[in-house]
């Protein structure tokens, strides 16, 4: 028996992006020199947007390096990937260069308002991070969003902290399963 409309309305989190529904627009400058626009990514089976905290975050360094090392495997599955932060261009360049990111498109200047639209948590600076890098005065916390070509949300994971993020190798296996069985987006109610 399908849930009543009252149950559906009550279960929908206020302000969260919902699977199978349109996502907000997203356009950011990238270190490649071009602007990246989500609406122009429709040729991919999926687009995976990896929001990271910024250059100050040592966990982000490890995480984006793992993503960078697996970039070709995502490409083989027709999954477009971009890593985006609220960092300035200068800080994004430092992250790319010092973290040795060679295969991942890096977006920057994500506005805090846009980060909130995507359901990301926002933090204020605590001064220097554990890696000794000054935190920006305000920045977004991490999240991963997988979007279908029709600009609807397929999969999302956000965090209030830099820790306990989905592993990209696990995600690759999940994408194989999803594509083999044409598995639908879940969490839609």
Q: What is the CATH number of the domain that holds 25?
A: 3.40.30.10
Assigned domain for 137 exists: yes
Structural domain span for residue 121? 18-162
| Helix/strand number for the chain, H first, E second | 6, 9
φ/ψ of residue 55, rounded to 5: -60, -30
Assigned domain for 185 exists: no
Assigned domain for 172 exists: no
Dist CA 114 CA 39 (whole Å): 15
pTM (predicted TM-score):
0.89
Minimal CA–CA distance to 73: which of 174, 148, 183, 149?
174
176, two tokens: 């194989």
Assigned domain for 155 exists: yes
The residues near 70 (Cβ < 8 Å, ≥ 6 apart) are 168, 169, 172
DSSP of 125-140: --SB-TTSPBPPSEEE
Total number of domains constituting the chain: 1
Assigned domain for 59 exists: yes
From first to last of the 189 residues of the chain, give the pLDDT tens digit. Answer: 344 433 333 234 456 899 999 999 999 999 999 999 999 997 779 999 999 999 999 999 999 999 999 999 999 999 999 999 999 999 999 999 999 999 999 999 999 999 999 999 999 998 878 887 788 899 999 999 999 999 999 999 999 988 888 999 999 999 999 999 999 999 999
Angle between helices 168-181 and 58-69 (to 10 degrees): 40
Minimal CA–CA distance to 88: which of 16, 136, 36, 151?
136
Assigned domain for 148 exists: yes
Assigned domain for 180 exists: no
Assigned domain for 170 exists: no
């Amino acid at each position: 028996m399908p849930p009543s409309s009252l149950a559906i309305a009550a279960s929908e989190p206020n302000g969260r992006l919902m699977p199978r529904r349109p996502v907000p627009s997203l356009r950011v400058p990238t270190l490649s020199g071009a602007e990246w626009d989500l609406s122009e990514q429709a040729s991919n089976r999926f687009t995976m947007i990896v929001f990271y905290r910024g250059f100050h975050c040592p966990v982000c360094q490890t995480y984006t390096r793992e993503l960078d090392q697996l970039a070709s495997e995502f490409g083989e599955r027709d999954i477009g990937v971009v890593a985006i932060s609220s960092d300035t261009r200068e800080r994004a360049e430092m992250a790319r260069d010092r973290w040795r990111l060679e295969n991942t498109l890096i977006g920057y200047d994500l506005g805090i308002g846009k980060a909130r639209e995507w359901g990301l948590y926002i933090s204020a600076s605590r001064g220097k991070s554990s890696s000794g890098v000054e935190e920006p005065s305000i920045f977004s916390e991490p999240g991963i969003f997988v979007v279908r070509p029709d600009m609807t949300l397929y999969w999302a994971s956000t965090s209030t902290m830099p820790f306990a993020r989905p592993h990209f190798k696990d995600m690759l296996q999940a994408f194989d399963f999803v594509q083999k069985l044409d598995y639908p987006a879940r969490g839609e109610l």
